[in-house]
Amino acid sequence: MTGIAKSAEELALIETAKRVLPGGTFGNFGADIVIREGLGGRVKDVSGNEFIDYLLGSGPMFIGHNHPAVTEAVLRQVPLGTTFFTNNEHGIRLAEAIVAAVPCAEQVRFVSTGSEADLYAMRLARAYRKRPKIVKFEGGYHGMSDWGLMSLAPRRLANFPEAVPDSPGIPDAIRAEVLVAPFNDVEAAVRLIEARQDEIGGVIMEPFQRLIPPKPGFLQAVREVTARLGIPLIFDEVVTGFRFAYGGAQALYGVTPDICTLGKIVGGGFPLAAVAGRADIMAHFDKALVGEDGFLTQIGTLSGNPVAAVAGLATLEVLRTPGTYEAVTATGQGLMDGLAALIAEAGIPAQILGEPVLFDVVYAEGDMRDYRALLRQDTAMQKHVNGVLRQQGILKGDSKYYLSTAHTAADIAQTLDAFRTALRTLPAARRVA
């Protein structure tokens, strides 16, 4: 594919979206594309253009679009009912599967979105610890709550541990309740937690922060200091859960938190997320165990929805097939290696950052250890290359290749051809001498 033509139908939909949606979008992705269908590792827009899909719905479609096992499970459930607001057998069995898979999970509470899961996880930690403040790491994404939107992508760089709100509408008082540390800096993290231990309700972190892997010993150091001081450690595994390994990043990296949040893959493409953790901490969701003063109210109309639960169960069953993770890791590693070779051949100041199932090209050199290091990247070059990739039939987010079990060797070859084309369009001034 050397160009993307838009049909009259898609152009009309885009114009309608601009009229009825703020910014012409759902708030997630650009307004210039309307997807109609997906199958395996590919999607088609309303105009019929086909794309290799590395967006994957922002990650949930880890086993590909319209996987027959998931589709069949959903179609069996829909005639039996789509929501009940009571316990249902599929939600119970999904909770059982999560407890069996995830190292920190002794009990599970379902919600509908990752943002909800992160919000409740932070509230749960504060309820258990009876302290008001949350420690997070600059550049870490923990959903859309007021607490989560602190120092995700600050427009000004503050002195640690000052928090910077990422959105208007957040009360100033919230800033004082969030303490911010640099990711991958053991000394700074331990010093902050020890110094403010009497105020801290919990520490939340992505064990793999956006694209940045943890440096050796970093997760272990944060785990050690929080365990020693009795402060709940939360791993936000909405992205990494069931992606990096069947037990998530905590299984891959060998570090077990007290609480974790899950989403995306665990719902099989439907709105479902979860808070999971130690039974003594999760007890705060049970008034009979903790009493009125310790009880954390959590109600959600669609929490544990049976359709989402059967989709999640079917997805996890596929992921338990022997060799699944080895195969998708090999596919992703092949794409990473191919992209790195093309970068070297073209003399572009860039590098591959991430893990084989989730990574991107970062247009900068040097150690990408934290959010501030990533600010050195050439975002204009990144935007240009991504735009050419789209014209070549490659759909990805601004930053991230999400790999799926459905991506094939042919997909990888086509992607590398498209990336080679994109690099050739860069002006010579962008290249390393």
Active site (catalytic) residues: 141, 236, 264
Task: Name the residue among 275, 273, 268 with its Cα closest to residue 235.
Answer: 275
DSSP letter for each residue of 232-257: -EEEEETTTTTTSSTT-HHHHHT---
Residue 149 and residue 218 in contact, taking contact as beta carbons nearer than 8 Å? no
- SS3 of 343, please? helix
Which run of H or E residues covers position 394?
strand 394-395
Residue 227 and residue 21 in contact, taking contact as beta carbons nearer than 8 Å? no
- Length of the chain (residues): 433
Q: Per DSSP, what are the bridge partners of residue 275?
A: 109, 261
Task: Name the residue among 56, 138, 117, 122 with its Cα closest to residue 404.
Answer: 56
DSSP state of 220: H
DSSP letter for each residue of 32-99: T--EEEEEBTEEEETT--EEEESSTTTTT-TT-BT-HHHHHHHHHHGGG-S--SS--HHHHHHHHHHH
